[in-house]
Amino acid sequence: MITGLGLFLMKMSNTEKQLKKILVALTALTALTSLTSHYLERPFLLKMERKQGIRMKLAELKKMNLGLVELDCKLAREGRDISEYLVRPEFKIYDFKKPETSKNNNHNKSKNIYLAPEFGFYTEKSFEQMIDFYRRNEKFLREVEKNNNIRGAAKYIVATYQIESNFGKKTGRRHVFNTLVSMYVQNHRKDFAYNELKDFLSLQGELYEDIFEIKGSKYGAFGDGQMIASTYKKSYRDFNGDGKANIFCREDAMGFIADYFAKSGFRENPRKALHLYNHSWKYVDAIETVAKELGTKLEQKKKRGKA
């Protein structure tokens, strides 16, 4: 069928340029046809459905599987094959459907969740942890401040490290590969997901050996500093001189945050730098609030120590 269609179109084409376009389209269509026969099989759909945390209609699952076919073909054209990962037992699709908003929750729209008690960031326990962390790492914090010419940033670095991963204790439970694939097939920030997935795949052999080794946040951020793959490629390096860029190393994480702040203009505009780290103004407000409070508490403890 495809061959007959191809011959017909070739006869209709007048230029070599048109012919090349047709051949490319036919190649993609052939790949799509062969892959669809696997991804749209009912057993595969049921396997996916069992893996999901929600029940999905068959039509939704078919649409999602067509998204996998599209993604697989798109990456294959760029020389990257993910088909072997899609049949691994670790692979699953995470749900990125927006929850229905309740009328009863309208009054919480203006609430800063980062400062809410249930978030655990703006609490006495959290401040105790930050003060302890600051004291134990003060020397290194001063070094990265000086090296990056961002005087006074130490308390912001500590606050950011705390809110992002609780100093490396909570770096995420989702496989980064699954997260980015899920975002793509559910059309949730699709272009972002595709570009990040390409960067993440390119890090095999450097960041990980097995693609399912790295787990991260809901949107694919990983490591103590919670960076995405493109940021890791551009900015992450060995910041403590031990010869290895370790995403789970305390000093490398502090060095990365300081370096990112400096490159984002922290010295001129701290709020802008914080917003580039996380594109939420509520996040920025929370970091500023906590950093200032942390600075006050550190000064108070310092004065009491001298008294």
| Cβ-based neighbours of 245, under 8 Å, separated by 6 or more | 236, 237, 238, 239, 252
Is 198:75 a contact under the CB 8 Å cutoff?
A: yes
Residue 142, φ and ψ in degrees, nearest 5: -65, -35
Is 140:153 a contact under the CB 8 Å cutoff?
A: no
d(CA 196, CA 180): 7
Tokens standing for 83? 């088909």
Tokens standing for 296? 């006050």
In whole numbers, what is the pLDDT of the chain averaged over residues? Answer: 83
- 170 pLDDT exceeds 60? yes
Rg for the chain, CA atoms, rounded? 24
pLDDT in tens, 194-214: 999 999 999 999 999 999 999
Mean pLDDT over residues 232-238, rounded?
A: 94
Question: Residue 59: CA atoms inside 13 Å, Cβ hemisphere, count?
Answer: 0
Name all domains of the chain by residue range, CATH numbers in brackets: 114-171+223-306 (1.10.530.10)
Q: The whole model's pTM is what? A: 0.79
pLDDT in tens, 17-55: 555 554 555 444 454 444 444 444 444 544 555 555 445
Question: Which residue would you say has higher pLDDT here, 262 or 50?
Answer: 262
pLDDT for residue 305 = 74
CA distances to 141, 166, 228, 253 from 260, rounded to whole Å, are 14, 19, 13, 10
pLDDT for residue 219 = 95
**By CB neighbour count within 10 A (0-12 exposed, 13-18 middle, 19+ buried), where does 190 fall?**
middle
Q: Is the dihedral of CA 37, 43, 46, 47 positive or negative?
A: negative
Tokens standing for 7? 């011959």
pLDDT in tens, 89-144: 999 999 887 655 444 554 455 789 999 999 999 999 999 999 999 999 999 999 99
What is the residue type of 60? E
Least confident of 65-79, 182-196, 280-294: 65-79
Mean pLDDT over residues 210-219, rounded?
A: 97
**Which DSSP symbol is given to 97?**
P
pLDDT for residue 56 = 55
